[in-house]
Structure 1
Amino acid sequence: MLLNVHIKNIALIDDANVNFTDNLNILTGETGAGKSIIMGALKIGMGDKLPKDIVREPDKEGFCQLLFLVDDPQVIEQIRDLGVEPSEDGEILITRRINNSRTINTINDMAVTAAKLREVSALLIDMHTQHQQQTLLKKAEHMKLLDKYGRASIDPLKQKVAECHREYVTLRREMDELSMDEAERSRKVEFLKYQIAEIESANIKTGEDEDVEHQYNRMVNSRDIVAAASDVYSVTGYESSSSAGNEIGRALASMKGIKDLDGEIDGLYSQLENIDALLNDFNVELNDYMQSMDFDDSEFRSVESRLDVINDIKGKYGSTLEEVLKYLEDSRKEYERLSEYDEYIAGLSDKIKKAEKAMLKAADALTAERQKQAENLCRDIRDALADLSFMEVRFDMVFDRLPECTANGIDDCYFVISTNVGEKLRPLYDVASGGELSRIMLAIKSCMASEDNIGTLVFDEIDVGISGRAAQKVAEKMAVISRSHQVISITHLPQIAAMADSHYLIEKSADEGKTVTRIVRLSDEESTEEIARLLGGVTITEAVMSNAREMKQMAEKTKKY
């Protein structure tokens, strides 16, 4: 349920803060008062692309905030699956701040992308616009409506078809890639044979390139390394009288003569002995290291040659030895397939036939379920249309078969309708007028509302092209829908306005030299006056007011929440 909409500095809206209620919320206003701006602001809050120059005063922040209350556990779980955590009391606060063409989107104070915002808002609110009802004229949209209506049983079957189709397409693609003449196959087999032999003869091992490169660098730099190590050894060893080893030896001899004269000296003597032992160990290890750096030319050439082989292999088959070994594995498999080409093609053909059979079987099961759900949907729509003054209406769905199965099945289906006695059924996209489309869409929405758990439905002038008795029936149908869903609707019809549980007026006025749009909730008497304006135009007589009061009284009797 949408609790509150707060809009600041958007189009003609300076600052509007609207609290909505349960059931049927109706917005009315003069032509040009800014009703479309309100719908546009709602779309912005739901993540729609920002129109150019939408911010009223560019040097100030544009602000749009929607506060929802969610009490359906299933919807709460779906929102959590999107990575958004509702508050403890089930509130979802969506905010969009627009500064210098940059937008900051948050949900419950957590920054999100516009795409994420759209995903979350789609679980909370369903907006119907005049543009959306034109989708009924698009044949492809009819099956989408059917699938949405019966999604509980249709979605698992659609998923099965998609999986089977994916497997079938993968096998077909493999077959296409393998299709070649005998000469081409022979050339490819010989080339693979050469590559496999070249890699195998290199006898490479994972990590070998790093070891060999380290060894090579050590050899290349051995002369400089040995020269520096020799200098160190001459300083720390025993080669000259001034070397550290000899100097420490003389120091030990001097302290040995006096260590028994004082206990503290004995401790110092022990420390010096440790230093001498450590230095001796260091010199031994340093000498061994220098001995290991003595390479002959043949050993160096062997390491250099091995490094050349490894780098050559990597240059041809992969940037790392892991990639080279993976290339070798794939090449062996490809070589095996091509070496046994006829047998492999026969086996692949058999797999394709089985995959196609499984795909068509899954598609047929999907078709059967769609036809079953289509019967239910069309029956519900017929009942809803009868409530909307479609007398003797016939409404059905035709199922044709596509030439080939797709990931969405093999069905090509569309709605057909007959609105007059004696007329044959014709495609909906060929025969419906603007007023009929409005009522048909409302009928569909009423059927869909009973199947989904979206809490708020928004209708932007669903009453376009209708009047009189049809308008009254539309108002009653909207009241029925609002028993189980919050409904927010913009209208220009008094019949619908009279049915409102909460009535809001959208008005345009001048304020300090600026044109602004305001939204105010009307009292019962103010609502009656607004209905009278819708009935009578500029001059509101007592007779018109009496008619407005009677219309509201009749609406109260009609509504049964």
Structure 2
Amino acid sequence: MLQELQIENLALIESLQLNLEPGLTVLTGETGAGKSIIVDAVGLLVGARASGEYIRAGADKAVVRGLFQAAGLPGLKETLSAMGVAAEDDGTLLLCREISRSGRHSCRVNGRSLTLGMYQRIGQMLVDIHGQHAYQSLLRPAYQMDMLDSLAGLMELRQEVGELYTRWQDLKKELEELCGDRGERERQRDLWQYQLQEIGAANLTPGEEEELSRQREILNNGERLARGAAVVYAALFEEEGRSAYDQLSRALAELEALAAIDPGLQTWQGTLEGITAQVEEIARSVRRYGEGLEYDPARLQEIENRLELIKDLKRKYGGSIEAILQYQAETAAALERLEQMAGQAAALEKEIELAAEKYREKALLLRRRRMEAAQKIEKELLKVLKDLAMPAARIRVDCSEAPQPGPAGMDNITFLFQPNPGEGSRPLAQIASGGEMARVMLALKSILADVDAVPTLIFDEIDAGVGGAAARAVARTLAAIGRRRQVLCITHSAQLASFAGQHFRVSKEVREGRTYTRVDVLRGEERVDELARLLSGSASSVAREHAAALLQQSGSIK
């Protein structure tokens, strides 16, 4: 609980210290006196967003401090330890929030500076604030699910469902990252198999394209090559007396005669003999080459088809036969890896099926428990609403199947409200009356107080729009919550104020041209006077008698 609240230079408050007690505490006062500033101060204390506009005119910074008694608060010790905050032996916790005009705000817990996010985590464990227009969370289906699960003691089962859902989704993500979806994997495998079959069927060899191009060139120029071979043969050997062979033979005969005279010429004679023999060999080879040439249209077409096939494969798989063969090798390796991945994927798919089955099993159990709990909670809420002067109202907790499973299960939870018989049930978001909304929220908070670990609840004019018997019923309910939690309530209702164990009056005063908010603890006759003012606007004798009667009645009820 919040034991002590200190506020410095916040809006109209220059300096204020409140020593707070357990149970129900009320703050009353004229409109504009600064009651909501105190609620804003507590909001800042537990992590609400800060603004320099909060700082009192003429001051450089505003400071809010709160001393809490938090011994035994579930999860707090572990949270503090994780953040490096030293816990006090007596369970006290000092929070300090400083707001500077320079924008350099600070958050400290037991003297240790924390980030705002860390600070908020602690603050949310200590105080729950419900402002005049703070019913929005109640309208959210997610919040309604939280309330149902908290009241039914299902949070542990829901956490287990969430862990199973996370495991299921993680496995699906792992499968997707491994090799995409199954259809895409099969398409990729079919493509690679087709490509390998196409390349393999071609039976390519390095250098083949160049050889085929050479053969095509020969076949396309066979007549020209034959004529040329004949010309070469005639020039080298056939033209009698004029051929190169005849000329060399005459030169060789003369050189032999000369070598007989000068043996030194025998070397040249030997060389010329070799040349003559080579010319003869070349001539005969050229003749055979020419005689072997023939035009073969079938072979030419075969070569053209083969070259066209190679061209097509080059267009698909690389700029050369070598590149195509490289692609073949790489694709074969990739296909092998894909086959291996397919095996891993099959194992993962079995794990996914098992994880989904485990999730569905627990989610269905959670759904059955929710539906059982919904009936019980409906009865409890109807009882509280009856106590809150709404005997004809009905609340139904609708548990419908969600379109998609999620970490919180397979349900949509919606609280449906029927204010009067015959009007039909509508979601809470469609409640038009602020008084009805306030009492519905109070009913929920009343039964939630038994399971909610937050020790301090703050209500800012929860009784707005509620009067008469309903206002008194609201007061009794808040007092009942106060027996289990610390409750701070800003109110304009004398009925509610009469039930408080501690009563503060908030007022404004002007000193030396400056406006100040002051807070006084009311006891005895001062409290009677304040209740009289709330009842009639003045402390008349009739109003004071009524106020005293209220205090007496509420005291006997408490």
Q: TM-score, normalised by structure 1?
A: 0.69
Match of 1:121 in 2: 123
* Partner residue in 1 for 2:430: 430
Alpha-carbon separation, structure 1, partners of 2:7 and 2:194: 72
Runs of 5+ unmatched residues, structure 1: 192-330
Q: 1:13 to 1:151 in 2, by over 3 A?
A: farther
Q: Which residue of 2 aligns with 1:462?
A: 462
Aligned counterparts of 2:2 and 2:526: Cα–Cα separation in 1:
24
Partner of 1:85: 86
- Partner residue of 2:138 out of 136, 139, 142: 136
Residue 431 of structure 1 and its aligned partner are, at CA, apart by 3.7
- The verdict on how the C-alpha distance between 1:412 and 1:161 changes in structure 2, with shifts beyond 3 A counting, is farther
Shift of 1:407: 2.0
Q: CA RMSD in A?
A: 2.8
The residue that corresponds to 1:53 in the other structure is 53
SS in 1 for 2:77: helix
Note the alpha carbon deviations across 1:386-434, whole angstroms, 9 max, x for none. Answer: 2111113322211111222112211112012223234443333234521
Q: Find the aligned partners of 1:81 and 1:499 in 2 and give their Cα distance.
A: 39
Task: Assess if the C-alpha contact under 8 Å between 2:164 and 2:355 holds in 1.
Answer: no
1:401-440 pair list within 5 angstroms? 401-431=401-431, 433-440=433-440
Matching residue within 68, 93, 106 for 2:108: 106
Q: Map of 1:308-387 to 2, 5 A cutoff?
A: 336-340=336-340, 346-387=346-387
Give the conservation status (yes or no) of the 8 Å contact 1:171–1:352: no
CA–CA separation in structure 2 for the residues paired with 1:2 and 1:44: 14
Does the aligned pair in 2 maintain the 1:337–1:344 contact within 8 Å? no
* CA shift for structure 1 position 177: 4.9
Equivalent residues of 2:398, 2:414 under 8 A apart: yes
- 1:496 and 2:500 are equivalent in the alignment: no
Q: Which residue of 2 aligns with 1:444?
A: 444
Task: Give 1:160-559 correspondences, 5 Å limit.
Answer: 160-170=163-173, 173-174=176-177, 176-177=180-181, 179-180=183-184, 184-185=188-189, 336-340=336-340, 346-431=346-431, 433-537=433-537, 539-559=538-558
Work out the percentage of aligned pairs sharing the same amino acid.
32
Moved more, 103-112 or 66-75: 66-75
**CA distance in 2: counterparts of 1:125 and 1:543, whole angstroms:** 39
3-state secondary structure, aligned to 1:102:
coil
Paired residues, what number? Answer: 419
With over 3 angstroms needed to count, the CA separation of the structure-2 counterparts of 1:113 and 1:21, relative to structure 1, is: same
Preserved CA contact (<8 Å) 1:79 1:85: no
SS at 1:132's partner residue?
Answer: coil
Per-residue deviation at 1:340?
A: 4.6
Residue number in structure 2 paired with 1:157: 160
What is the distance in 2 between the residues matched to 1:333 and 1:134? 59
Q: Determine the structure 1 residue equivalent to 2:43.
A: 43
Query: Which deviates the most, 87-96 or 150-159?
Result: 150-159
Distance 1:357-1:334 versus aligned 2 partners, 3 A rule: farther
Which residue number in structure 2 is paired with residue 5 of structure 1? 5
Q: Say whether the 8 Å CA contact 2:23–2:483 is kept in structure 1.
A: yes
Q: Does 1:94 align with 2:98?
A: no
Q: 2: distance between equivalents of 1:333 and 1:49?
A: 58
SS in 2 for 1:95: strand
In structure 2, relative to structure 1, the CA distance for the partners of 1:394 and 1:343 (3 Å cut) is: same
Amino acid of the structure 2 residue aligned with 1:401: E
Secondary structure at the counterpart of residue 457 of structure 1 = strand
- Mark the CA change 1:342 to 1:119 in structure 2 (over 3 Å): closer, same or farther: closer
Contact 2:76–2:122, Cα closer than 8 Å, also in 1: no
Task: Give me the whole-angstrom Cα distance separating, in 1, the residues matched to 2:332 and 2:535.
Answer: 83
Superposition deviation, residue 136 in structure 1: 2.9
Task: Write the distance in 2 (CA, Å) between the matches of 1:102 and 1:151.
Answer: 42
Shift of residue 497, structure 1, vs aligned partner? 0.7
Q: Is the 8 A contact 2:77 2:87 kept in 1?
A: no
Cα displacement string for residues 147-201 of structure 1 (whole angstroms, at most 9, x for unaligned residues)? 333345444433344334434532563464564366744778999xxxxxxxxxx
- The one-letter code sitting in structure 1 at the alignment partner of 2:541 is E
Q: For residue 25 of structure 1, what is the aligned residue in structure 2? A: 25
Q: Secondary structure at the match of 2:135?
A: helix
In the TM superposition, residue 443 of structure 1 has moved relative to its aligned partner by 0.8
CA contact (8 A) 2:171 2:348 kept: no
Describe the shift of the 1:540–1:79 C-alpha distance in structure 2 as closer, same or farther (beyond 3 A): same
1:19–1:70 Cα change, 3 Å: same
Equivalent in the alignment of 1:311: none
| Secondary structure of the corresponding residue to residue 53 of structure 2 | coil
Max Rg structure: 2
Q: Is the deviation greater in 367-376 or in 101-110?
A: 367-376
- Equivalent in the alignment of 2:147: 145
* Cα separation, 2, equivalents of 1:500 and 1:333: 80
Whole-angstrom CA distance in 1 between matches of 2:66 and 2:367? 40
